[in-house]
Amino acid sequence: MINAPVSQRDWSAHPPLIYPPYASTALRAPTKPLIPLAHGLAESSGPVFGHDRVGPLDHDLTQNGRRNGEPLGERIAVSGRILDEDGRPVRDTLIEIWQANAAGRYVHQVDQHAAPLDPNFLGAGRCVTNGEGVYKFYTIKPGAYPWRNHFNAWRPNHIHFSLFGATIASRLVTQMYFPGDPLLALDPIYLGAPEGARERLISRFSLDVAEPDFCLGYVFDIVLRGRSETPFEGGDR
């Protein structure tokens, strides 16, 4: 699908590539300046994954990994709107999420944290936004887990989000955090996002999203790049 070129990445919102407190950036993040690229057809288009690509339980992580019962932990609904910088809803766009279980353990084989796996929880899901840019997942509140970045390092509770938006340039992978988590102030990944921007990564507790006698609720709105003020440049394909 060809769309209007999107605005530039707002580097006042995004983490730097090299960020020494996050040790893995030292050998993995580029050190030379990025080269600006005017948007042509390649950058003004992107893949389309519509409602037909999503199964009936894909958005419900409390059900899509069941084998012999319900997953353990605190059941939550996570809902929000995907908007662009100009406030337009991003309709019919794919969201993929993944997360640890309630004990802080990922299904991923590389995760060897000595916390239990839950046979009824996979921790992966996807959905497509509706006509107003709204999405909703049901899941289990993820637990914190240790990592080796520094002594006694623990990741705050979080859910990974992957989004596409209008073009390949609006692609975003991010993490949603929970309000009041004391680990946020200690987490170099969260702190890698600039002050004044990182707060947008914290979801909001909402009784409107909670469902009586069923689950608590959190709201997490996401803003993708808007439309460029400069018209299509160069005709570069």
Partner 1 sequence: MSKQTPSQTAGPYFAYALTAQQYHYPNSQIADGTLAGEDAAGRIRIVGRVLDGAGAPIPDAMVEIWQADSAGRYGAEGFCGFGRQGTGTDPQGRFVFDTIKPGAATGHAPFLTLVVFMRGLLTHVYTRLYFSDEPAANAADPTLATVPPARRPTLVAERDGAAPGVLYRFDIRMQGEDETVFFDL
Question: Which 157-216 residues touch partner 1, going by CB under 8 A?
Answer: 160, 162, 168-169, 171-175, 189-190, 192-194, 197-198, 200-201
Q: Is residue 56 at the binding interface for partner 1, with CB under 8 A as the rule?
A: no
| Catalytic residue chosen out of the listed positions 81, 105, 126, 158 | 158
- 108 catalytic? Reply is no
We find the least distance from the C-beta atom of residue 200 to partner 1, in angstroms, to be 5
Distances from the Cα of 215 to the Cαs of 75, 78, 140, 206, in angstroms?
5, 10, 9, 11
Least Å distance, CB 211 to partner 1, is 25
- Taking the complex as a whole, the smallest distance from the CB of residue 54 to partner 1 amounts, in Å, to 9
Please report whether residue 50 would count as binding partner 1 according to CB under 8 A.
no
DSSP state of 211: B
Could you tell me the CA-to-CA distances from 3 to 25, 46, 169, 213 in Å, in that order? 33, 8, 11, 43
The overall longest dimension of the chain from CA atoms, in Å, is 58
Considering CB under 8 A, how many residues would be counted as binding partner 1? Answer: 84
Q: Which residue's structure tokens are 């002050």?
A: 195
Whether the Cβ atoms of residue 157 and residue 144 lie closer than 8 Å to each other: yes
Residue 79 or 175: the one with the smaller Cβ distance to partner 1 is: 175
| In the complex, least distance from residue 215 CB atom to partner 1, rounded to whole angstroms | 21
Catalytic residue flag (residue 145): yes
- Would you count residue 114 as binding partner 1 (CB under 8 A)? no
CA dihedral (100, 104, 106, 111) in degrees, to 10, reads 150
Q: What is the DSSP string of 142-200?
A: PPPEEESSSTTEEEPSEEEEEE--SSGGG-EEEEEE-TT-TTGGG-HHHHHSPTTTGGG
Q: According to CB under 8 A, which one of 34, 114, 185, 207 is a site residue for partner 1?
A: 34
In the bound complex, what is the minimum distance in angstroms from residue 228's beta carbon to partner 1? 11
Whichever of 21 and 214 has its CB closer to partner 1, that residue is 21
Active site includes 177? no
Q: Which residues contact 79 (CB under 8 A, 6 or more apart)?
A: 134, 135, 136, 137, 209, 217, 218, 219, 220
Confirm or reject binding of residue 235 to partner 1 (CB under 8 A): yes
Stretch that binds partner 1, among 45-53, 68-76, 136-144, 205-213 (CB under 8 A): 45-53
31 sits near partner 1 (criterion: CB under 8 A): yes
Check 145, 177, 190, 218 and give the catalytic one: 145
- For residue 158, indicate whether it is catalytic: yes
Distance CA 224, CA 237 (A): 23
Q: What are the catalytic residues?
A: 106, 145, 155, 158, 160
